[in-house]
Amino acid sequence: MKGSAALRQDADSGDCWKGFRPGDWTTSISVRDFIVRNVKPYPGNEDFLAGPSQRTKAVWAKLQPYFADERKKGVLAVDVQTPSTLLAHKAGYIDRENEVIVGLQTDQPFKRAIFPYGGLRMVESGIKAAGFEPDPLVHEAFTKYRKSHNDGVFDAYTPEIMSCRKSGIITGLPDAYGRGRIIGDYRRVALYGVDRLLESKREERAQIDDMWPTDEIIRLREELSEQMRALKDLSSMAKLYGLDISKPASNAQEAFQWTYFAYLGAIKEANGAAMSIGRISTFLDIYIERDLKAGILDEARAQELWDQLVQKLRIVRFLRTPD
């Protein structure tokens, strides 16, 4: 599908960019509503497509030695000292001069992060399997001072579940590093900006602040607080790259970058078994069509945005044990 109808113009100024605001079509957070109102089927063929740009080729060329070394050696590097969080690593680049979409899981390509909050044993097994040594300070922190997800799950298991786990009768239990299929709607950051998402979370929190503090309500308060902290950290992560995602994306490049930052935040926080970015093509194409009609983007530049986003997705790496 290619294209969308032009977004409604602002009633006061006639400026279509000002009309590109969440409040103009809904008072709630709804990516679907935005897409339904603006998407337009494309009945043509692929003749409009452009080839990769010189900048895209330059970034891809910089990655080739990493791919070659990885095929020979396996895991190239692991940051064994730094548990991964949104702000654990400084900004990382492949080719700063030629990248139009920026952001890496750590501070350099193909360096893998550790996620001991999920479970220390799996982390240390993965580090050793990759030919590196676990850091003793991390081991001390997550055996003496910090309870991991893995430890919490084992504390909750009954003897019967433990027996079933040990015998292999039941598989897929949640103790194995807390890794599942995590799918988030990363488009929200581009469409609304972090400030609006924070406002929405504050509204949710206000609705339960006066409720009787049952276990469920207390847990919801805590989880909403965690979500708000994560959104603030996500905004701080973007600032490491000199970008401000507090406001909605104003053009196609920002829409691509904001969406990728949201996904990057997720893979910095969670070692998911299948961290899908979801269906983003229709959403991002709405921004592309708008910029094409405004004359601030051409097909070659649009292709560059897609190519460089895919390059980033192609180099996502997690530390794993051989099995």
112 bridge partner residues: 78
The pLDDT value given to residue 180: 63
- Give the C-alpha distances (Å, rounded to integers) separating 71 from 64, 68, 312: 11, 5, 18
Whether 8 has a pLDDT exceeding 50, the answer reads no
The pLDDT value given to residue 240: 98
Nearest partner of 285 among 10, 38, 15, 30, judged by Cα: 38
b/e sequence 27-50, b meaning 16+ C-beta within 10 Å: eebbbeebbebbbeeeeeeeeeee
The pLDDT value given to residue 169: 86
Whether 24 has a pLDDT exceeding 80, the answer reads no
The whole-angstrom separation of Cα 96 and Cα 35 is 33
Whether 35 has a pLDDT exceeding 90, the answer reads yes
The pLDDT value given to residue 27: 56
Query: Average pLDDT in the 120-125 region?
Result: 91
Q: Is 112 helix (H, G, I), strand (E, B) or coil?
A: strand
Query: Average pLDDT in the 103-118 region?
Result: 95
For residue range 39-89, list pLDDT tens digits in order.
988 898 999 999 999 999 999 999 999 999 999 999 999 999 999 999 999
| C-alpha gyration radius of the chain | 22
Query: Average pLDDT in the 197-210 region?
Result: 94
Q: Is 111 helix (H, G, I), strand (E, B) or coil?
A: strand
For residue range 247-306, list pLDDT tens digits in order.
999 999 999 999 999 999 999 998 877 788 999 999 999 999 999 999 999 999 999 999
For residue range 125-184, list pLDDT tens digits in order.
999 999 999 999 999 999 999 998 888 999 999 999 999 988 988 877 887 655 666 778
The pLDDT value given to residue 321: 83
Domain residues of the chain, as ranges? 22-115+177-314
More confident residue, 21 or 65: 65
The pLDDT value given to residue 4: 35
Residue 302, token pair as written in the block = 């649009």
For residue range 171-189, list pLDDT tens digits in order.
778 876 556 667 789 999 9
